[in-house]
Amino acid sequence: MVEDGDDSFLAHGEGRAGSCHNPTRISTLESRPTVRRINVARTERLGVLYDRLPIIDVHTHTSGPDDDGDANDIVHTMNECGVEQAFCFAPLLSVHGLELTDEHMDDVRRHNDYIAHFCATSPERLLAFAVLNPNPALAGGDAEQAVSLMVDEGRRCYDELGIRGIKMVPDRWSPDDERLLPLWSNLAELGMYVAFHSGIFLDERSSQFCRPAGYEGLHQVPGFHGHLAHLSWPWVDECIATLAMETFHAGASGKDRWQLKADLSFGCPADWQIDSVRKALNMLPVDMLMYASDVFWPCDPRRYLEEFIYPQLANFETAATLARHLPDAGTADRVGLRRKVFYDNAVEHWEAATRGKPQRLQRLTTVPSTPNARPRRSHRCQSFRAPGAGSNQPTQSM
């Protein structure tokens, strides 16, 4: 695969085209990867001449056809911000877990149809994540039947829709419940990456099921790969401890040794952010941590840079400077550390989970409807997770 570098501007859009180097072409002898491996970002907005920072965003949301707009607009934002790929989650249901019935299973299927259709516009850039929810209420209160329904839906998403990623929010179920082992085993067998919500949850009803220690049960399934979102705030210490235990039985084969990693999307308000990342860098192997925004698409390039990438870079660099035994700022090793968190760690984890099999997304003749999708989170609510804008105090509008 050959990639063309964008030579129209230098770092942060300054300078003159071609003033420092020639247009870059990168070629690879590897077979076509499922996550694109490159040596430079598509744009030059981030980094200086010796340090082009490619980015993969492992946590982004869609809300359905009424809110998402054109998928090409997302790709435009990614191009402008140097984001190579984004994990795009199917819309969540607007119905709380306590209110679900078996009739909502049709909504689950429609939402998964939608994300495959939406991301099929640019399948090399937008990695589709279906949503599964083994809530017993979806099966008339039968927990084992709910698991069976999700096993079937996971297989449908893989075989018929071509999806390779799954997003899950524990709600009236816990990841360490042994009745869920068939689901985890089937997802691992298929080669599907699973992104879990972890930490406090905005619906004010599901948080007790999202404690990070509950994910220890996933280690019973060889070959399972996924990540915990938001460093599990407010249970950051518990998340770090849970992930650290995996270092005692790290996988021996391949570049990626871990079953679980964590994303650094802003679950915690600003007062906790730098210290949370510092603790994670001190206690965990750096290849367990990944950049994520938690953005709700669409998002214009300026806002994405100002509210997500720049604050995340600032937090990371400050935390890395304060952490013990990490490379000094300005060194080549620090550049490598930054690249791991913002790009390499996601590449390696995705490829380990999917075993190198690319998504084969199906674009439907009509856009699937999502009448029970959770509405797009307001700009003010998103700012709660992004220190670059507004107050970090929660309000009733959330």
Kindly indicate the confidence band of residue 105, based on its pLDDT and cuts at 50, 70 and 90: confident
**Average pLDDT of span 160-186:** 95
153 in any annotated domain: yes
pLDDT in tens, 6-52: 333 223 333 333 333 333 333 333 444 566 655 544 445 555 445 67
Does an H or E element contain 187, and which?
helix 181-190
pLDDT above 70: residue 284: yes
179 in any annotated domain: yes
392 in any annotated domain: no
pLDDT above 90: residue 164: yes
13 in any annotated domain: yes
pLDDT in tens, 309-344: 999 999 999 999 999 999 999 999 999 999 999 999
Task: Write down the pLDDT at residue 321.
Answer: 97
pLDDT above 90: residue 78: yes
**Average pLDDT of span 274-282:** 96
Would you state the torsion angle of the CA atoms of residues 207, 376, 150, 57, taken in this order, to the nearest 10 degrees?
-90
**Average pLDDT of span 291-309:** 96
Task: Write down the pLDDT at residue 51.
Answer: 65
Kindly indicate the confidence band of residue 276, based on its pLDDT and cuts at 50, 70 and 90: very high
**Can you state the angle between helices 181-190 and 143-159, rounded to 10 degrees?**
10
393 in any annotated domain: no
**Average pLDDT of span 159-175:** 94
Q: What is the CATH number of the domain that holds 165?
A: 3.20.20.140
322 in any annotated domain: yes
pLDDT above 70: residue 363: yes
Mean pLDDT of the chain: 83
390 in any annotated domain: no
The residue segments making up the domain with residue 230 are 2-383
389 in any annotated domain: no
d(CA 9, CA 19): 9
d(CA 362, CA 62): 17
Residue 312 burial (CB count, 10 A): 25
pLDDT above 90: residue 209: no
Kindly indicate the confidence band of residue 380, based on its pLDDT and cuts at 50, 70 and 90: low
d(CA 397, CA 384): 11
Residue 246 burial (CB count, 10 A): 20
pLDDT above 90: percentage of residues in the chain: 62
Q: Total domain count for the chain?
A: 1
Kindly indicate the confidence band of residue 254, based on its pLDDT and cuts at 50, 70 and 90: low
d(CA 226, CA 349): 8
